Structure 1
Amino acid sequence: MRSVLLLALLIALTITCITPNSAGAQDERVTVRLDGRAVFRVSAVENVDATARARQIERRMSRLLENPTAIAPPRIEATQNSDQQVITIAGVPVVTVTKADAQDNLTTVDTLATQWSGAIATALTRASQRRLSPSERFVAEVQSSVQTGFGRLGESAIAIIPRALAALLVIGLFWAIAALVRWLMRLIFRHIVEDLTVENLIKQVAYYVVWSLGFIVALDAFGFDPQAVATGLGLTGLALGFALKDILSNFISGILILVLRPFELGDQIVVGETEGNVERIELRATQLRTYDGRVVLVPNAELFTSRITNNTAAPIRRSSVTLFIGYDSDLQTAVTVMTEAAQATEAVLNDPPVSVRIRDLGQDDILVEVRFWTDSRRTDFVATTSAVRGAIVLAFKDAGIGLPDPDVRILMPRHPDKWRTALGLGDSDRTQDSDNASR
């Protein structure tokens, strides 16, 4: 189940990265770079996020550098909106300074426009000097791409690594809390609830509720809006339903098994070709231990929809032993001896009593079935059945009742050559016997 939670975390993070988060976008500022060097930082405005706005400003300054000798000093021009000013170069608008930018930088629009204008002039002057010749322009472009890439990587690392560490710390903390809650549940319910299946259900629900809370807090610590993640998951719920249908099916089947309880912990069940003892019932699969010591994990969806035989649903179970009795034996005496021998065997219950049934009348003998009841667990069931067989055989010997004896027997001599010599049979007789045998 932990792997399912990690998969859900990755999906949620991916969806959140793809789905625009307007609340988070307006809180972040992105650096505008020229030749890999930082010029200033901008925020999101109206319907344009900070990243798109920064890339637009960088493209405009790059176009100005296509003709470095014609670059004019930046100018600050007023607009019809008194809360905005535009920085232009040779009549081309480069960036619009808004009131939101001023508030993010804790200054006024006029002051911020002046600062950005000076930063743009310095950056363009430095960049134009590196592009006076074609070779210098090529080198400058390569260096600009490399420095810009590393600069953005460094910014991303500075922004993401602390959040990632915080999210991991939150996950680790809630993992410890979930483990502690499960331990406390086990300690408390061990003295309150005798039903292990109910105890297992409560422990798992409490454990994964704590994990879910930790997942939500970790998202928030990573910098994502849980509401936006929920919205993204809702929009892509159909795709996720098809992609995770097996996992969801096992999860829901596990809850239904724990609630409906077709079997409990410690029961011995048969599912298809698998038979064993139920050791654990988890939300993804049920763990069975076969009678030869192997561990089998059966998916809950398969377990819930399959035909299940619960051998220990009832505390007792009927077993039977079949044997043959010759026609020359006293049938009534044999039935009495079998009944008494089976009933006297240890672990055979007195109620219901032992019963004997004549199953078939064969050509040479009678097929008799002895039925008795014992504990339903396999260890007692198999051991008791074996003990009943042995008790019946001993009782027959003590009562002088013989088991069926075939009328026709084939005896083979141990030294056939010596017998042939003693009987005067030669090689020709041996060859004739072989021919007859082959025919």
Structure 2
Amino acid sequence: MPETAGAGRRFSLLIAMLFLGILLVLANWAVAQEGAETVRLDGRALFSVNSSDTLGAEVRARRVEQRLGVLVRALETVPKAAVEASGSERVIVVAGVRITTVSPIDAEDSLTDIDTLAARWATAIESGLREAVERRQGFGGSFFADTLAALQTVLSRAWSSVVSVVPRLLAAALVMGTTLLVASGVNRVLVVVFKRRIADKTLENLIRQLSYYSLILLGVLVAADALGFSPGALVTGLGLTGLVLGFALKDILSNFVSGLLILALRPFEIGDQIVVGPTEGSVERIELRATQIRTYDGRVALVPNAEVFTSRIVNNTADPIRRGNVLLQVGYNTDLDALVERLRGSVASVQGVLDDRPVTVRIDELAADAITMNIGFWTDSLRSDYKQTTSDVRRHIASTMEDMGLPLPEPDLWRVVPAHLEEWKTALSSCREPLHPTSGAEKNDDMKGKSSK
């Protein structure tokens, strides 16, 4: 079991690392999907813009930054930023260039009126342009200022992401940690309850795993909400990407569903002795991923549930009793009636052979050199009892043959003379005339006569 426990810990660590990576991706995506994006010039924040009807917040902010960058390289002095009315919107113009548009939605999100917000943005743009132009006219010129500005932009955006993401990650991690503790506690409580009330290990395994993974799923949904996802949007997103996930996680999902079906349909239970393909042994655990089988030579086999569910399963202990058979070959000169009666009594007296089921002795085959008999009996279906009882039955059969003076089968012995030699001699002498072989002298005379001719 130490190897199994170590493998379980490594698998849990891998799942935890995978979940942490997914949390990071989801947190970044959630921040990117928010309505606000900061406009920066040389790494310094000017103001934040929201998504418009046609552009996302990030695209809108990058466009404003691009226009400001062009103006910084083109202007030597910065004119005053003007605010022009365009219907219900306000347009900020610098040196005849439209920098950005202030919409009523921007004003609503900023909890102010549109004119006040437009004036605020215009002041920030004018101040930022003036400082950027002065930096390029100072020490190091434009090259030094552009390099420093690029570095400041990267660092400021990274810091902004950290400030936005880390609190959400901590909240999500706290939710998942609490969920794991609660799920483990519920699992232990169920173990105690089932130990006192219900002795069905398979039912206990099913309820424990369903409750555990249900709590984990609930924790994932709450953690996603802490990251900025609504549960409805998360479920919708999973539905849209279900096809891709189905192909990517086909084997994992197949094993998971097969595990649920095995636990629900119960073709075998924990403790049963089964045969699945080339694997035979006792079922120790039924997980949602694989079924753990202890083979008769002491090894542990983890068979994927999809393979178990689709394979031919032989459950040797589905019934508490099992029929055993032993084959015996005897000669044709054997008194079969006496032998059958002796065998029935001898096998029935073996310890482990059930008394309420009759011992059967049948003739299976009449071969050229022997009669094949089939001795059937019933015993406990556990492999240890079955094997021991079968061995004792064979030993009693050998003792019965010896007591009756019957030879035991010897497959390597081939008879090359008749069994009753004297009878065969008498039969042959009565149906054949005696042979008179010629003497040596007569044979020589005959040969001479033939040569003279």
Q: How big is the shift at 1:362?
A: 4.3
Residue segments in structure 1 that go unaligned for 5+ positions in a row: 410-439
Partner Cα distance (1:398, 1:345) in 2: 16
Structure 2 partner of 1:193: 198
Which of 141, 155, 161 aligns to 1:156? It is: 161
Q: Label 1:236 to 1:13 Cα distance change in 2 as closer, same or farther (>3 A).
A: farther
What is the one-letter code of the residue matched to 2:275? Answer: V
* Alignment deviations for residues 402-439 of structure 1 (CA, whole Å, 9 cap, x no partner): 42464769xxxxxxxxxxxxxxxxxxxxxxxxxxxxxx
Structure 1 partner of 2:446: none
Q: Label 1:398 to 1:115 Cα distance change in 2 as closer, same or farther (>3 A).
A: same
RMSD: 3.1
Structure 2 partner of 1:25: 34
Q: Label 1:36 to 1:8 Cα distance change in 2 as closer, same or farther (>3 A).
A: closer
SS of 1:73 mapped into structure 2: coil
Q: How big is the shift at 1:99?
A: 4.5
Higher mean C-alpha deviation, range 154-163 or range 134-143: 134-143
* Alignment deviations for residues 84-128 of structure 1 (CA, whole Å, 9 cap, x no partner): 433221122223344444455455444443433332222212211
Structure 1 partner of 2:48: 41
Larger-gyration structure (1/2): 2
Which of 248, 256, 273 aligns to 2:278? It is: 273
Q: How big is the shift at 1:7?
A: 6.5
SS of 1:168 mapped into structure 2: helix
Partner Cα distance (1:317, 1:79) in 2: 92
Structure 1 partner of 2:289: 284
1:58 aligns with 2:75: no
Tell me the TM-score normalised to structure 1 length. 0.82
Q: Label 1:58 to 1:232 Cα distance change in 2 as closer, same or farther (>3 A).
A: same
What is the one-letter code of the residue matched to 2:91? Answer: V
* Alignment deviations for residues 114-160 of structure 1 (CA, whole Å, 9 cap, x no partner): 43333222221221123349962222222222211111111111111
What is the one-letter code of the residue matched to 2:241? Answer: T
Partner Cα distance (2:110, 2:322) in 1: 81
Q: How big is the shift at 1:290?
A: 1.2
Q: Given that residues 27 and 165 in structure 2 are in contact (C-alpha distance below 8 angstroms), is that contact kept between their aligned partners in structure 1?
A: no
What is the one-letter code of the residue matched to 1:53? Answer: R
Map residues 288-307 of structure 1 onto 2, 5 A cutoff: 288-307=293-312
Which of 49, 71, 75 aligns to 2:78? It is: 71
Q: Label 1:152 to 1:246 Cα distance change in 2 as closer, same or farther (>3 A).
A: same
Partner Cα distance (2:19, 2:316) in 1: 38
Query: May I ask how many residue pairs the two structures share in their alignment?
Result: 403
What is the one-letter code of the residue matched to 1:145? Answer: A
Structure 2 partner of 1:430: none
Structure 2 partner of 1:416: none
Which of 394, 406, 430 aligns to 1:389? It is: 394
Structure 1 partner of 2:436: none
Which of 219, 238, 246 aligns to 2:224? It is: 219
Identity rate of aligned residues, in percent? 48
Q: Given that residues 327 and 372 in structure 2 are in contact (C-alpha distance below 8 angstroms), is that contact kept between their aligned partners in structure 1?
A: yes
Partner Cα distance (1:242, 1:18) in 2: 23
1:378 aligns with 2:376: no
Residue segments in structure 2 that go unaligned for 5+ positions in a row: 1-10, 417-453
Partner Cα distance (1:8, 1:39) in 2: 36
Partner Cα distance (1:32, 1:18) in 2: 19
Q: Label 1:6 to 1:238 Cα distance change in 2 as closer, same or farther (>3 A).
A: farther
Q: Given that residues 16 and 224 in structure 1 are in contact (C-alpha distance below 8 angstroms), is that contact kept between their aligned partners in structure 2?
A: no
Partner Cα distance (1:177, 1:399) in 2: 72
Which of 345, 348, 356 aligns to 2:353? It is: 348
Q: Given that residues 286 and 299 in structure 1 are in contact (C-alpha distance below 8 angstroms), is that contact kept between their aligned partners in structure 2?
A: yes
Q: How big is the shift at 1:306?
A: 1.6
* Alignment deviations for residues 27-85 of structure 1 (CA, whole Å, 9 cap, x no partner): xx32221111222233334443322222121111101012121532222333432xx43
Q: Label 1:198 to 1:374 Cα distance change in 2 as closer, same or farther (>3 A).
A: same
Higher mean C-alpha deviation, range 167-176 or range 351-360: 351-360
SS of 1:223 mapped into structure 2: coil
Partner Cα distance (2:165, 2:307) in 1: 42
Q: Which has the higher contact order (CA 8 A, sep 6+)?
A: 1
Structure 2 partner of 1:414: none
Q: Given that residues 9 and 215 in structure 1 are in contact (C-alpha distance below 8 angstroms), is that contact kept between their aligned partners in structure 2?
A: no
Q: How big is the shift at 1:386?
A: 1.0
SS of 2:327 mapped into structure 1: strand
Q: How big is the shift at 1:381?
A: 0.9
Structure 2 partner of 1:437: none
Q: Given that residues 84 and 92 in structure 2 are in contact (C-alpha distance below 8 angstroms), is that contact kept between their aligned partners in structure 1?
A: yes
1:333 aligns with 2:342: no
Q: Given that residues 353 and 372 in structure 1 are in contact (C-alpha distance below 8 angstroms), is that contact kept between their aligned partners in structure 2?
A: yes
Partner Cα distance (1:265, 1:283) in 2: 14
Structure 1 partner of 2:428: none
Structure 2 partner of 1:209: 214
Partner Cα distance (1:114, 1:407) in 2: 116
Q: Label 1:241 to 1:11 Cα distance change in 2 as closer, same or farther (>3 A).
A: farther
Which of 128, 137, 148 aligns to 2:133? It is: 128
Q: Given that residues 27 and 168 in structure 2 are in contact (C-alpha distance below 8 angstroms), is that contact kept between their aligned partners in structure 1?
A: no
Which of 311, 316, 323 aligns to 2:316? It is: 311
What is the one-letter code of the residue matched to 2:166? Answer: I
Q: Given that residues 374 and 384 in structure 1 are in contact (C-alpha distance below 8 angstroms), is that contact kept between their aligned partners in structure 2?
A: yes
